[in-house]
Structure 1
Amino acid sequence: MPTYHQRLAEQKRTAIVDAATALFLESGYDKTSLARIADAAGVSKATLFKQFPTKAELFDAIVTDYWRTEEGALTPPPGDPGAGLTALGNRYVALLTRPGMVALFRIVIAEAPRFPELGQTQFRLGKQPFFDAVRDYLAAEHEAGTLAVPDPVSAATQFLGMVSNFAFWPRMLLVNWAPTEKAMARAVDEAVETVLARYTVRAAGGAARA
């Protein structure tokens, strides 16, 4: 069990990350100082600087936190593409609909022209690791002979695009966009069915769909 001091440090870290996210969205990345973040988080500047010496490191932590899952480093084993893709699709929905994720993307989009490193951070620490997990999973199914996926990068792009086009991107423009859990699950199922229809190895002669 974590000690009292460890719990207190984690609480302060969470307060800092939450305050920074809100201030970055409200005032912009450039105009938000670490001192202002410390004040909004209710911590001393010394405490903030101890955990995050620079604003860039704080933004890295925000991105990492928003994209972290309990199973973030795990990829389903090959052998059952329907189940594996469904698990990955549902995990992607859970990430994209996490409270604050839309705000994080808006910060990056608004500040990217002046701070392109923010977009690079969002891609490198956020989307890219998850994309790589899906790509590697599809490659593993290809190697196992359950799917014929000669270009797993393209297949991963297709799959995640179908999911995010329903689960996430409308939220960027439509404030009241809030599909039900059932609708989200159906969107994942449709994406899985589309991928299986395109890449499943046919039983007759083992031929793959072109």
Structure 2
Amino acid sequence: MRYQDRLFQQRHDAILAAARQLFREQPWDRVTIAEVALGAGIGKGTVYKHFPSKEALYAQLVLELSRANLDELRALHAAQPGPQAMRQVIRRAFAQMLADPVLVQLCLLCDRPAFQERLEMPYREQFLALEHDYQALFGQLLADCLDARSLPHADCQHLLWGVEACFSGVMARIASGGFAHWAEPIGLPDYFERVTDFIIAGLKGQAASLRGYRLNIE
């Protein structure tokens, strides 16, 4: 790699590291590009050479951390294939979210249609690719957990929509700070376990229903 390329990558990494640190220390939506530049030890104008807007910086943080999380989930699935893989991966995914609530908040922001429309096309394409990669992983988990190979692709996609809805609910709960304000607070570990049970039971029940429907119309 050329020296200029190495320098560019070093600055890129320094900007993201500074942003992550600042976002943990204060509300992320109040952090300015000038503060990020100061934390990275570079000029404000240099930040804009890497990221055209603060939204692009948010997007890059989410993309890089989400890819790292996805790699960990893939490795977990590879190490523990079979029917129990779904539970293990879901619980690990929840643990990843709980370990980085700021990332969860940024993910929810980046998932908004209005936010996506403002992003430059390369970032939007990367988010689409990331979504396909997550769907591919959970498609493999469905095959392990439910013998989903016997279901048409469209039915598997419908099952994944249910998983996505549950994950979105968990993300929103973590972003809001948990259940401390409830009259009968629920511990997040218990909440994660019950949601995992719900997802797996729902997948199995819905898959059985779809198979029965297919048999009745054939």
Structure 1 and Structure 2 fold alike (TM over 0.5) = yes
Deviation at residue 50 of structure 1 after TM alignment: 10
Compared with structure 1, are the counterparts of its residues 123 and 103 closer, same or farther at alpha carbon in structure 2 (3 Å cutoff)?
same
Q: Note the 1:1-210 alignment, pairs <5 A.
A: 13-19=16-22, 25-26=29-30, 32-33=32-33, 35-39=34-38, 41-45=39-43, 49=47, 52=50, 54-55=52-53, 58-67=57-66, 68-69=68-69, 70-74=71-75, 76=77, 80-81=82-83, 83-97=84-98, 98-105=100-107, 107-108=109-110, 112=114, 116-117=118-119, 120=124, 123-124=127-128, 127-138=131-142, 140-141=143-144, 146-147=147-148, 148-150=150-152, 151-165=155-169, 167-172=170-175, 174-177=176-179, 179-199=187-207, 208-210=211-213
Q: Mean Cα displacement is larger for which, 115-124 or 177-186?
A: 115-124
* % identity of equivalent residues: 13
Structure 1, unaligned runs of 5 or more? 1-7, 202-206
Cα distance between partner residues in 1 of 2:112 and 2:207: 38
- Counterpart residue type for residue 64 of structure 1: L
Deviation at residue 128 of structure 1 after TM alignment: 4.6
Q: Structure 1 segments of 4 or more deviating over 4 A? A: 8-13, 20-24, 46-51, 72-75, 125-128
- Counterpart residue type for residue 97 of structure 2: L
Deviation at residue 152 of structure 1 after TM alignment: 1.8
Q: Deviations over 1:20-54 (max 9, x none)?
A: 78675126xxxx44x44212x25122896499354
Q: TM-score, normalised by structure 2?
A: 0.61
Deviation at residue 196 of structure 1 after TM alignment: 1.7
Q: Deviations over 1:178-210 (max 9, x none)?
A: 642122122112211221223259xxxxx9443
Deviation at residue 93 of structure 1 after TM alignment: 1.4
Cα distance between partner residues in 2 of 1:72 and 1:187: 18
Contact 1:88-1:134 within 8 A present in 2 as well: no
Q: Secondary structure at the match of 2:77?
A: coil
Compared with structure 1, are the counterparts of its residues 112 and 25 closer, same or farther at alpha carbon in structure 2 (3 Å cutoff)?
farther
Q: TM-score, normalised by structure 1?
A: 0.63
